[in-house]
Structure 1
Amino acid sequence: MKKIDKNVVMLGWVSFFTDMASAMINPILPIFVVTILHQGMDKLGIIVAAATFVSYALRLVSGYISDRYDIVKPLVVGGYALSAISKPLIGFTHGYKSIAGLRALERLGKGLRSAPKDLMIAHYSKKGSAGKTFGFHKSLDIGGELSGTLLLLWLLYSFGENESVMRSIFFATLVPGLIGLFIVAFFVRDIPRKQAGPRERFKLTKHDKTTVRALFFYFIFLFFIFSDAFFTMQAKDIGISIAVIPLLFVVSTGVQTLTSYLFGIWIDKIGPKRILAFSYLCGAAAQGLLYLQKPLFTWLSYAFLGLFTVSSLNANRSLIARRADNRGSVYGIFYASVAVFGAAGAYVSGMIWEHFGMDAALLFGLAGTTLLTLLYALFGGLADA
């Protein structure tokens, strides 16, 4: 821990407070849309898809700008500012279109900051310690989610589960959002600019292209695995009460908090590919446990979802730090592709759920994740990446 650069530590605290704000609304937003506003699962799918997809171009552009023009911290600060402002405004909404618009704005903020932020983390990582550094950062990131979820649980328990309380919670996210924005603006140092000189035409190198190809399997997997919103609605549909649902997120984020740094150490020791094999197995297990449609199995599913999320993200971010030459651009491609495949998967799952029922949507996710896990085990190559 002592070898972690102080700028990475500060970025970790920025993520802590920003994700605290996100975790205060993520467990209740699907319920707010479907139950309070009486919108269908297809509308929820549209909201998730729009929020995920809208940052597509911006993630690519922000990574390119970081590499091409050495503009890094301003993009990170601007991205956190958009996120801090957009979340509280959901408290004023009365239809799925306005929610989709605000979620899209929040994702624009994430798209603006994600690639430059990871570029900063990679820059401040010690040689040979990228996995550990990203694991440390993710620990604070997930710690914020855990804190926000516990706060949400207390608010719902103390004040109830009605519309007024939910809207007040949306408004309250402004506080942690502004704290995170203040830290990144005043306590995180920008990375040094490159030496001034004639600029060559920018293009991805052979190493960059090889890295992107190595990431493609992960993108396909994201198409099939359920998003948090669909995990939430499955829990509600099998009889888990709204007040208890935040505890499911506590399980997921708690697992991530406890394991993130350890996964970072293992990535440095045994390589990202072996960790990715484990993550796909966990993702398929999470989807399979949902399919059983029993409360106990849903609790276990959230634990496996946490393992999948933290191990796969840390492994892929470390892989880029190891292999890519233009890391900002490749991080941009990575997050853009996550957005595209995640959005497409959410839209398809929402449509299947709305028109053919939850069983069909669960089977779709289970079949896809299981098949991909088997393919990776057979052909993914588990040698060190």
Structure 2
Amino acid sequence: MTSRDSASREKAGTAAPGTALGTVSGASGAAAAHRGIPAGVWALGFVSMLMDISSEMIHALLPVYMVTVLGTSTLAVGIIEGIAEATASITKVFSGALSDRLGKRKLLAVLGYGLAALTKPIFPLAASIEWVVAARFIDRIGKGIRGAPRDALVADLAPAHLRGACFGLRQSLDTIGAFAGPLLAIALMWATADHFQTVFWIAVIPAVLSVGVILVAVREPERPKERRPVRMPLHRDEFGRLDAAYWRVVAVAAVFTLARFSEAFLILRAQSIGLTPALVPVVLVVMGLAYALSAYPVGVLSDRMDRRTLLILGLVLLILADVVLAFASGVAGLGLGVALWGLHMGFTQGLLATLVAETAPAELRGTAFGLFNLITGLALLLASVVAGALWDAAGPQGTFLAGAGFAAIAIAGLLFVRGRPQKPAA
């Protein structure tokens, strides 16, 4: 790397590739990190939280609504959800690349959140499954459009020495929305005597607020004049600029994701030990609470110590969660396993995003996040298929113990990843 390239990276607030898994010096504590996080990162966190509240209020009820009100089969529900999530993963690659080409992240993030908000009124108005499918499909396209540009925008806004804290904060606020939405849905269904349409209409409000916040409160930083323009982000020459450090992070994340199959299996585990259908959603609330409470502190900690160590700790937590869930025989064991699962998410998800930001060139961050999300999304799909097959063949124990095995493999991979210490930001 030339001195000019190094200077450009420092000015852009980007660590040189290969350094992100090493020791990172940062602020003196959580309070200093809290004060140093830019307002734009806080705003993006609240944008994510509001949209997740809206989406999860609907998605927590949508499968039941499709089956009981619209008369859809459970097979059709599974196909619809699978196609919707695959669409989001694929869209992220192209939206991330487009944000690199245009040099504009906020525009695409607003478009993605706006599309999602526009779909929300369709759910209470839908008279047939075709309308619901269309709304779900467009909603996931919106998620795909906003995902990679938003993460790249967080990286652009974050000071280099607080990048872990910034990603941890956004992830924490996002997760608050993820468990607040189902809680609101349960409360509103009780208050409205199970009137789905009323709950769906109320869910429109936080979606509209989300778009308003990103329009008003988020200001995209100017693209540095010395940053190299990217005309064809998805060209093989540009992929070559994503060096070995980035691909090591992606590889470890993919193996990790094979161990972290869909949270639907946590619900199935709750049912298998006798939890009533009315109480099953509490599993996701417990997991989300542990996730939300840990993501930001871990992000702050990652700016002050070796990030590889924190990732390994997160994977150890996943192994413990899998083992507990494999042998749980009552509510106490289930609760402990689910809480450990949420903690491992808090220790890893924001940190993996931080590592992507630090190992990719600043001008290719959108593309890097898009590829990362696509590969880990495909790994999650494969993991869920394997987990389902193991569940049918060997029961819950086979599924969760296999997950623990994949987590151990991911730990072994991390032990071979070596990074140089990163210099403190100027």
Distance in structure 2 (CA, Å) of the matches to 1:32 and 1:281: 38
* 1:282 lines up with 2:317 in the alignment: yes
Q: Which residues in structure 2 correspond to 1:230-269 (within 5 Å)? A: 230-236=265-271, 238-269=273-304
Question: What is the CA deviation profile of residues 272-301 of structure 1, one whole-angstrom value per residue up to 9, with x for unaligned ones?
Answer: 322222222333443444444633333223
Give the Å deviation of 1:28: 3.6
CA contact (8 A) 2:101 2:231 kept: no
Distance 2:284 2:144 in 1: 23
Instruction: Give matches, 1:1-385, under 5 Å.
Output: 1-32=34-65, 42-91=75-124, 101-160=134-193, 162=194, 165-195=195-225, 202=233, 203-236=238-271, 238-291=273-326, 292=328, 294-325=330-361, 326-347=364-385, 349=387, 352=389, 357=392, 360=394, 362-363=396-397, 365-381=399-415, 385=419
Do the aligned partners of 2:249 and 2:352 also contact (CA within 8 Å) in 1? no
| CA spacing shift, 1:76–1:34, aligned 2, 3 Å | same
Distance 2:200 2:206 in 1: 12
| Cα pair distance change 1:369/1:177, threshold 3 Å | same
Q: Which has the higher helix share?
A: 1
Cα–Cα, structure 1 residues 383 and 56, in superposed 2: closer, same or farther, change >3 Å?
Answer: closer
AA at the equivalent of 2:309: R
Q: Offset of 1:94 from its aligned partner?
A: 7.7
Q: Could you say if the C-alpha distance between residues 201 and 34 of structure 1 is closer, same or farther in structure 2, counting changes exceeding 3 Å?
A: closer
2:148–2:369 contact (8 Å) kept in structure 1: yes
Cα-to-partner distance string for 1:100-127 (whole Å, 9 max, x where unaligned): 5543322211111111111111111112
In structure 1, distance between residues paired with 2:125 and 2:259:
32
Q: Is the 8 A contact 1:48 1:346 kept in 2?
A: no
Q: Which moved more, 1:33-42 or 1:220-229?
A: 33-42
The change in CA–CA distance for 1:373 and 1:35 in structure 2 (over 3 A counts) is: farther
Q: Deviations over 1:64-118 (max 9, x none)?
A: 1111221211110011112223345344568877655543322211111111111
Give per-residue Cα distances to partners, 1:174-196, cap 9 Å, x unaligned.
11111001111222112313439
Displacement after TM superposition at 1:238 (Å): 4.0
Distance in 1 of aligned mates of 2:223 and 2:365: 15
| Distance verdict in 2 for CA 1:50–1:79, change over 3 Å | same
Quickly say closer, same or farther: Cα 1:140–1:379, change in 2 above 3 A.
Answer: closer
More displaced 10-residue stretch of structure 1: 262-271 or 12-21? 262-271
d(CA) in 1 for partners of 2:265, 2:417: 34
- Per-residue CA deviations over 1:12-41 (Å, capped at 9, x if unaligned) read 111111111133234444444567667666
The number of residue pairs the alignment matches comes to 378
Q: Is the 8 A contact 1:263 1:311 kept in 2?
A: yes
Distance 1:186 1:106, change over 3 A: same
Which deviates more, 16-25 or 108-117?
Answer: 16-25
For 2:198, the aligned partner's letter is S
Deviations 1:134-159 (A, max 9, x none): 11222222222343233223224434
Q: How much has 1:128 moved relative to structure 2? A: 1.7
> Partners in 2 of 1:258 and 1:206 — Cα distance?
36
Deviates more, 1:365-374 or 1:113-122: 365-374
Q: TM (normalized to structure 2)?
A: 0.78
Larger radius of gyration: 2
Relative to structure 1, the CA distance from residue 228 to residue 172 in structure 2 (aligned partners, 3 Å threshold; closer, same or farther) is farther
Percent of counterpart pairs with the same letter? 25
Confirm or deny: 8 A CA contact 1:47 1:99 kept in the other structure.
no
Whether the 8 Å contact between 1:284 and 1:373 is mirrored in structure 2 is yes
Query: Relative to structure 1, is the Cα distance of residues 42 and 267 closer, same or farther in structure 2, using a 3 angstrom cutoff?
Result: farther
State the distance in 2 between where 1:32 and 1:288 align.
34
CA contact (8 A) 1:221 1:368 kept: no
Moved more, 149-158 or 56-65: 149-158
Structure 1 gap segments, 5+ residues each: none
Q: For 1:269, what is the secondary structure of its paired residue? A: coil
Q: Distance in 2 between matches of 1:282 and 1:204?
A: 33
Amino acid in structure 2 at the alignment position of 1:365: T
Residues 135, 15 of structure 1: alpha-carbon distance in 2 compared, 3 angstrom cutoff: same
Q: 1:300 to 1:26 in 2, by over 3 A?
A: farther
Deviates more, 1:263-272 or 1:1-10: 263-272
CA shift digits 1:334-373 (9 cap, x unpaired): 11223222234445555x48xx74x746355324321112
SS in 1 for 2:111: helix
User: For 1:128, what is the secondary structure of its paired residue?
Assistant: helix
> Alpha carbons of 1:311 and 1:384: their partners in 2 closer, same or farther (altered >3 Å)?
farther
Deviates more, 1:10-19 or 1:140-149: 140-149
Cα distance in 1, alignment partners of residues 52 and 274 from structure 2? 27
